[in-house]
Amino acid sequence: MKLLDRLFERSTRRVAETTSRRAALARIGSWIVAGSALPLLLPIDRVAGRALAAETGKPGDPGDPNSCDYWRYCSVDGFLCTCCGGTVTSCPPGVEVSQVTWIGTCRNPADGKDYIISYNDCCGKQSCGQCACTRNDSEQPMYRPFNNNDINWCMGAKSQVYNCTLAVIRGVAN
């Protein structure tokens, strides 16, 4: 996992998960596919299989918000604000939230319900560089911009400079 973690941190916003996985594949052979990389492709399996080391502490909201596997991150693409000095719903100090955002739908493993999650970007300081996470479960090409995460969604903030990404519950999807 160490190598995989290191590769994650080096990677780019959209390239993040995919290239890391591929680089790992290219370098260290297929054992990691079974051992580590495959669960990255299957986040639900990963959640089920993890010891849930750092729970949110909230009943009904299982998982570790510092981990790319946390259920709300199912369509995230970027650096996790929880690793950058913020929380899953708060930007790091001195970093402004962009209110213009794109949304995904993620299933909460605790109650089996689908939640609408907005992936607001936090803006005004350069890339945080911690916990790059790309899951793209529902991404579409850019002509569907509100379903696309190759766009820098800092466009609603004073500064377009991207720092990290939140995962905010906006309601239960019907």
Partner 1 sequence: MSSIRIGPAAVLAGALVAGSAYADLPHDEIGQAKLPFPPEPHRAYIVDMEFDTMVATRVSVVDADSLRMLGMISTGGAAPATLSHDGRTVFTADLFYSRYTRGTRTDVLTAWDTSTLEPAWEVEIPPKRASTIVQRYGLTVSDDDRFVYVFNLTPATSVTVVDVQARKVAGEVALPGCILNYPAGKRRFASMCGDGSLLLVTLDDAGQEVARDKVKLFDPDHKPLIERGIANAGTYHFVTLDGVVQGVDLGGDKPRVLEPWSLLTDAERKAGWAPGGWQLLAIAPKLGRLYVLMHPEHQPHMWEDPSTQVWIYDLATHQKLGTLESPNPIWTLHATGDDKPLLLGGNIEGGLEVFDLTTGKHLGTKPKAAKTAVQILSH
Active site residues: 102, 121
3-state class of 52 per DSSP? Answer: coil
99 binds partner 1 (CB under 8 A): no
Q: Quick one: how far is CA 88 from the chain centroid?
A: 10
Closest CA to 124 of 163, 86, 87, 93: 163
154 binds partner 1 (CB under 8 A): yes
Nearest approach in angstroms of CB 167 to partner 1 is: 17
155 binds partner 1 (CB under 8 A): yes
159 binds partner 1 (CB under 8 A): yes
5 binds partner 1 (CB under 8 A): no
Structure tokens at 174: 């019907």
Nearest approach in angstroms of CB 101 to partner 1 is: 10
> Could you tell me if 131 and 66 are in contact, meaning their C-beta atoms sit under 8 angstroms apart?
yes
How many residues bind partner 1 (CB under 8 A)? The answer is 38
Nearest approach in angstroms of CB 91 to partner 1 is: 14
Nearest approach in angstroms of CB 15 to partner 1 is: 6
141 binds partner 1 (CB under 8 A): yes
Cα 79 to Cα 142: distance, rounded to the nearest angstrom: 20
Closest CA to 164 of 133, 136, 139, 127: 127
Exposure on the CB side of residue 96, measured as CA atoms within 13 A: 14
Is there a binding annotation on residue 77? yes
- As a whole number of angstroms, the longest Cα–Cα distance in the chain is 46
Nearer to partner 1, 27 or 54 (CB): 27
Closest CA to 123 of 152, 159, 167: 159
User: Binding site residues for substrate, as ranges?
Assistant: 77, 149-151
Question: Residues interacting with partner 1, by CB under 8 A?
Answer: 11-15, 18-19, 22-23, 26, 41, 100, 124-127, 129, 135-137, 139-146, 150-152, 154-155, 158-162
User: Binding site residues, as ranges?
Assistant: 77, 149-151
